[in-house]
Structure 1
Amino acid sequence: MFYKLTKEQHEQMIEEIQYFFSSERDEELSEFAAERVLAFIKESIAPHFYNMAVSDAKIVIEQQMMSMEEEILVLVQRLHLFERGIWIANGICSYAAIPNN
């Protein structure tokens, strides 16, 4: 998968990798070595996080679609009842005379 990073993002990631190796492992990493680490992360690890994010987004969209479908069904049911001269609002049922055309 190809990730398009800005120059600033790329430089910041390289610096963060170098800082991590320095502070956590007491290793000084060259810019070239840090770029290899970044390439490994982008190629091998990042796709897993990307797929998890897509899966999470799919679940949210499915939930929103179900909610919208429920709202649409509520409207359809109310319309159906209204056509028969029955109106239900806030749990109270009322009857209305339907004019004959």
Structure 2
Amino acid sequence: MTIEIPKDARAEAIASIQRYFEAHMDERIGNIAAGGLLGFFLEEIGPVIYNQAVAEVQERLQMRVSELDIEIHEEAFTYWRKREKAGKSGKGA
């Protein structure tokens, strides 16, 4: 699976790589070289980050699904209990 990013995000990432090289490597890197480096990172390291994000989302979804029983549970066979409560409160009136 190839990880692709939108053109505007790619342009910002390339500019950020260029800025990083100037600030931390004390040398300049051209637009094409920075784009190549970005492509390498996306292909080589991107899947690790992507897979971790998918695993975290799966974990969160599983937690939410396990909570559904508690959140939306509806008690069964309550018709008569509701009627009995209503009848008791209605007798005193």
Structure 1, unpaired ranges of 5+: 88-94
Q: Which has the higher contact order (CA 8 A, sep 6+)?
A: 2
Q: Deviations over 1:35-68 (max 9, x none)?
A: 1210111011111111111011001111110111
Residue 53 of structure 1 aligns with which residue?
53
Higher normalized strand content (fraction of residues): 1
Matched residue type, 1:96: E
Question: RMSD of the TM alignment (CA)?
Answer: 2.0
Residue 96 of structure 1 aligns with which residue?
84
Q: Does the aligned pair in 1 maintain the 2:3–2:46 contact within 8 Å?
A: no
Residue 25 of structure 1 aligns with which residue?
25
Higher normalized helix content (fraction of residues): 2
Equivalent-residue separation in structure 1 for 2:50 and 2:3 (angstroms) = 11
Matched residue type, 1:17: I
Q: Does the aligned pair in 1 maintain the 2:4–2:42 contact within 8 Å?
A: no
Aligned length: 85
- For residue 45 of structure 2, give the secondary structure of its aligned residue in structure 1: helix
Q: CA deviation at 1:10?
A: 1.5
Q: Which runs of 4+ in 1 moved over 3 A?
A: none
Equivalent-residue separation in structure 2 for 1:6 and 1:58 (angstroms) = 25
- TM-score normalised to the size of structure 2? 0.77
Structure 2, unpaired ranges of 5+: 86-93
- TM-score normalised to the size of structure 1? 0.71
